[in-house]
Amino acid sequence: MFKGDLFLEAIGPVASAALVTVQLTLAAGAISLLAGALAASAQVGGGFFGAFVSRAYVSLMRGTPLYVQLLVVYFGLAFAGLSGQAFLAAALAIGINSGAYSAEILRGAIAAIPPGQIEAAQAIGMSRWRIWQRVVLPQAFISSLPPLTAELTIVLKSTPLASVVAVTEMTYTGVLIQARNFSAIEVFAVVAVGYIALAQVLLRGSRSLERRFRLLRG
């Protein structure tokens, strides 16, 4: 039933596809952080209009399936003249989706900064932008590091959706191999191990990152 040679055969292609999964995770993670920081800033200091746009963004992202968002972005890019950009579409869709969750995490962290610090910064004459850049954001990032890395794990677990637009990441590679060899059990065992291993790497990485920043915070 479980054929060892098919299992071993699948390891090579899936491992090289893991590189695409990692690239996709990192690209989407970066977009998520950027979108999240923008949306959180708009919600806290963007006035009525900024808060409204940010709230609408978060609601839309959380209220629609990522699968549908991915297809909207994919065909939206094609509509704008960028057709066939599967990797870009997947990174954008997953990143912008996750950005809504990052925004909530960052908003919570910003709200937790004692107002006294901001008043102190104002008192010594720092500008609004400077306060944001030197006092608010660095601390918000550090205290939201654990939930943000958890969010990155969710991003990793969202990347298989890219298979829908034929990005040859791990899952799609698995689907292609099993269609050729009829080796579903063996191939999906390799793919599953791949995701669990990558999730473990992320977990370890985030723990050491947290330790490092905790020292910095004193």
Which residues of this chain interact with another protein, rule CB under 8 A? 1, 59-60, 62-69, 71-72, 75-76, 78-79, 156-161, 163-164, 171, 174-175, 178, 184-185, 188, 191-192, 195-196, 199-200
* 82 φ, ψ (degrees, to nearest 5): -105, 75
DSSP 87: H
Nearer to another protein, 135 or 176 (CB): 176
Q: For another protein, which is the closer residue by CB, 64 or 133?
A: 64
Name the residue nearer to another protein (CB basis): 99 or 174. 174
What is the largest distance, in Å, between two alpha-carbon atoms of the chain? 73
Contact 190, 10 (CB under 8 A): yes
Rounded Cα distance between 195 and 175, Å, is 15
Backbone angles phi, psi at 26, to 5 degrees: -70, -45
Q: Minimum distance between the CB of residue 2 and another protein, rounded to whole angstroms?
A: 10
Q: Read off the tokens for 190.
A: 């390799």
Closest distance between another protein and the C-beta of residue 170, in Å?
A: 8
Q: Which is nearer to another protein, 53 or 66 (CB)?
A: 66
Minimum distance between the CB of residue 5 and another protein, rounded to whole angstroms? Answer: 16
Q: Nearest distance from residue 196's CB to another protein, in Å?
A: 4
Report the distance separating Cα 116 and Cα 4, nearest Å. Answer: 64
Min separation Cβ 8 and another protein, Å: 18
* Cβ proximity to another protein, 70 vs 137, nearer residue: 70
> Residue 72 CB, nearest distance to another protein (Å)?
5
Residue type at position 140: A
Q: Return the axis-axis angle of helices 47-62 and 4-45, rounded to nearest 10°.
A: 160
Name every residue whose Cβ is closer than 8 Å to that of residue 209 and which is 6 or more positions away in sequence.
145, 149
Q: Which is nearer to another protein, 65 or 84 (CB)?
A: 65
Nearest to 21 by CA among 155, 200, 178, 208: 155
Give phi and psi for 187, each to the nearest 5. -65, -45
